[in-house]
A and B are shown apart, each in its own frame.
Chain A
Amino acid sequence: MKDVDKLIRETLKTIGGEYAPRPSAAENLLNRRIRIRRVTRFGRNGLILASLLIILAITVPALVADLTGDEDQPLTTQPGPEQQIREPATLPESRTLRDVPWEKIGKGWLIALYVNDVFTEDRDEEGSTVLYLIDSQGVLYEVTRWGPTQKVGDKAPYEIIDWSPTGKSALLSWRDRRSDEAGVWEIDLRSTKTIDLNQSNFGSKGDTERALYIKGYTWPTGSNLVLSRTSPGSALMRSDREGNVLSTLGESGLSGEDEFRRWLYRPNGREVVIGTPEGLRLVRIDGSIVRELPTPPDCHPVRWWTSNSILAACHDDQNFFQLWDVHLSGAAPSPITELPNRVPGVDLGYYDAVVLDDQIFLQWIGDCCAGGVERLISRMESASLITPPEGGLPPVGAIDGCCNYLLTVSGHYLAVWASNVSEPGGSIYFLDPGGENHRPVLLGPEHVTAVTSVVAFPSLLPEK
């Protein structure tokens, strides 16, 4: 192996070293381009946050269910978010919390975090973080907002972890950027009260080596939580809000890796499909195994495909993804997409799919952050890229065309989150797959960070 190390190092040093572009020639070009592009955007937290948010955003939250919890626990008080902030940019027009038709929340709705920071050549100003609900027609409802985090103790959410099955609460990761403290809030969307789900409860209950992370709600009331454990050994668990583990849904001996990233509750709430390194497994919520589902190895459940089968994304040992229709009966699965063409560094395959007007639309992903929406022409046959839309959308600084992520079907549109890979934030738009009647929904104006996290309502309705 040492020889291989040496060979790789020598090769890369030689090939890299032989390439010597001259900065003097490039400097003039750079000056010209900077003059042309007077203003550019860079997010305050840089690329780590951007990558994290993008990866999390394509992982539209797993749909969770649980019959053991009877009622949502009452949410207690935390100081409400700031309401009187001088905003550096005009916030999008929206309706108020009072206007939200709570009984209509369902498939096609979105919940999004919008960060109103402005960065230009001359300005570098933090604004509010706003939580919006978006209905399936694209109407915005402002739930609440948090002011800039200017001193230690100022907290603001940066990621939506999950939206409750009732639609009336959400889990938010928060961070105090001045102290690097972080945690998880649950917010009651109706009252905007938050409670702090103290992560230390989850990480240190009698075992300092244990690391537990809040991943989502249980089903159907969201009265309990889904956790993942990365040490000792990887596991997916159910717990109450104090971190008391109720059951272990899946477990492996591998520490440090998040082996059970996705899960999908059965609508009956008594069983869960979990993805494991060996394939998909149907388990009861007490953790007992119903059956191993015949799939390729390394699969995770994505969403309900039919009333008896789920859509699963499976990848081979090189992380090329393929979508499968997996029957819970144990019948043989069938592939929906082909494997990518394995061009190095380019195409990682298909990761998600939805059905709109009897057509299948696929989430294509590239390495790390790239993504786009494609239409499946016919089963297992090539697909055509439909994002970014031809001709683009109204001015949106956050869309650069490389990173479009399918969220859900909203009405007769595909809801898409578009982001710039090297910057945090982005925009939400409704894509008209049959024409050019695309609709901006929550756009990031140039210089504004805009949408940093978005989650689709966790519907368990099948796509087909």
Chain B
Amino acid sequence: MAVTHSDSELATETRFEPGDAAAFFRSHYTSLCRLAYLLLGNHATAEEVVMEAFVRAFPRWDRIGEMDRPDAYLRKVVTHLCRSRFRRIRIELRANALFAQAREEPLSTPMEKRDIRNQVWRLVQDLPPRQRACVVLKYFEDLPELEIADILGCSVGTVKSQLFKARTKLAHELEGENGGEAT
């Protein structure tokens, strides 16, 4: 089947035989970890969640592998697992997000760009959960609103309104912090 959302470093039309779970894992592990990280703000937890998604999926790969979009299915599982982790990691999340923000920025990035990126990343992390999920799925995964709605189990209208609220909030915050230049 065609895999349309594989890692950027791999061919986007890579074809796998149904049942080739290991190949699917190798080609999608990184991108799913990235999605989980952007939703959770924590590397270790992101990898744990993606692992859990594959542990659950592999024993039934004969069915999942035959889906038109097993990548979409796994993305949905990962998104839901991320959301279920929020409660358990709330304290760690807060601490790690702050730590990660300071730790993970490459020093070679020009200061101004890095500052703006930090600002945006912090604001995205401060968004309410559903808004953040919509933002990550749209801007990082480049998914259409219909697919975001499917993943989050809500209507397209809700996705639109969540994205609108998120964008408005980010624009407002950035405008406030940068003297009106962001919008």
Which residues of A are interface residues toward B (Cβ below 8 A)? 1, 3-5, 7-24, 26-27, 29-30, 33-34, 37-42, 46-48, 50-52, 55, 119-121, 124, 256-257, 317-320, 343-348, 364, 366-370, 372, 400, 402-403, 421-423
Total number of residue pairs linking A and B with CB closer than 8 Å: 212
Starting from the known contacts A8-B139, A30-B25, A344-B129, 5 additional A-B residue pairs (CB-CB under 8 Å) come to: A1-B183, A19-B34, A317-B165, A345-B93, A366-B84
Is A344 a contact partner of B60 (Cβ separation < 8 A)?
Answer: no
Partner of A11, one of B53, B106, B117, B167: B117
Q: List 9 A-B contacts (CB under 8 A).
A: A11-B120, A16-B140, A18-B104, A47-B77, A319-B128, A344-B93, A344-B126, A400-B84, A421-B80
A320 cross-chain contacts in B, Cβ below 8 A: 128
A55 cross-chain contacts in B, Cβ below 8 A: 153
Taking the closest CB of chain B, its distance from the CB of A338, in whole angstroms, is 15
Across the A-B interface, give the 3 residue pairs with the lowest CB-CB distance, nearest first.
A367-B129, A51-B153, A23-B29
B55 at the interface (CB under 8 A from A): yes
Is B47 a contact partner of A4 (Cβ separation < 8 A)?
Answer: no
Is A344 a contact partner of B84 (Cβ separation < 8 A)?
Answer: no
Is A19 a contact partner of B57 (Cβ separation < 8 A)?
Answer: no
B15 at the interface (CB under 8 A from A): no
Is B80 a contact partner of A33 (Cβ separation < 8 A)?
Answer: no
Is A366 a contact partner of B60 (Cβ separation < 8 A)?
Answer: no
Is A18 a contact partner of B120 (Cβ separation < 8 A)?
Answer: no
Number of interface residues of B (CB under 8 A): 78
For the complex, give the distance between the alpha carbons of A304 and B80 in Å. Answer: 33
In this complex, the member of A22, A318, A319 whose beta carbon has the largest number of chain B beta carbons within 10 angstroms is A318
Which residues of B are interface residues toward A (Cβ below 8 A)? 8, 22, 25-27, 29-30, 33-35, 37-41, 43, 46-47, 50-51, 53-60, 63-64, 73, 76-77, 80-81, 83-90, 93-94, 104, 106, 116-117, 120-121, 124-130, 132-133, 135-136, 139-140, 150-153, 155, 157-158, 165, 167, 170-171, 174, 182-183
A38 cross-chain contacts in B, Cβ below 8 A: 59
For the complex, give the distance between the alpha carbons of A165 and B152 in Å. Answer: 33
A40 cross-chain contacts in B, Cβ below 8 A: 55-56, 58-60
A50 cross-chain contacts in B, Cβ below 8 A: 80
Partner of B84, one of A1, A16, A23, A403: A403
B124 cross-chain contacts in A, Cβ below 8 A: 8, 11-12
For the complex, give the distance between the alpha carbons of A30 and B74 in Å. Answer: 15
B8 cross-chain contacts in A, Cβ below 8 A: 17
For the complex, give the distance between the alpha carbons of A257 and B55 in Å. Answer: 37
Partner of B83, one of A23, A37, A366: A366
For the complex, give the distance between the alpha carbons of A9 and B38 in Å. Answer: 12
In this complex, the member of A42, A366, A367 whose beta carbon has the largest number of chain B beta carbons within 10 angstroms is A367
For the complex, give the distance between the alpha carbons of A42 and B53 in Å. Answer: 10
Closest to A22 in B: B30
B153 cross-chain contacts in A, Cβ below 8 A: 47-48, 51-52, 55, 368
Taking the closest CB of chain A, its distance from the CB of B155, in whole angstroms, is 7
For the complex, give the distance between the alpha carbons of A119 and B64 in Å. Answer: 13
Is B182 a contact partner of A345 (Cβ separation < 8 A)?
Answer: no
Given contacts A19-B33, A52-B153, contact A26 B139 (CB under 8 A): no
Given contacts A4-B171, A346-B90, A368-B80, contact A16 B128 (CB under 8 A): no
A41 cross-chain contacts in B, Cβ below 8 A: 56
Is B157 a contact partner of A257 (Cβ separation < 8 A)?
Answer: yes
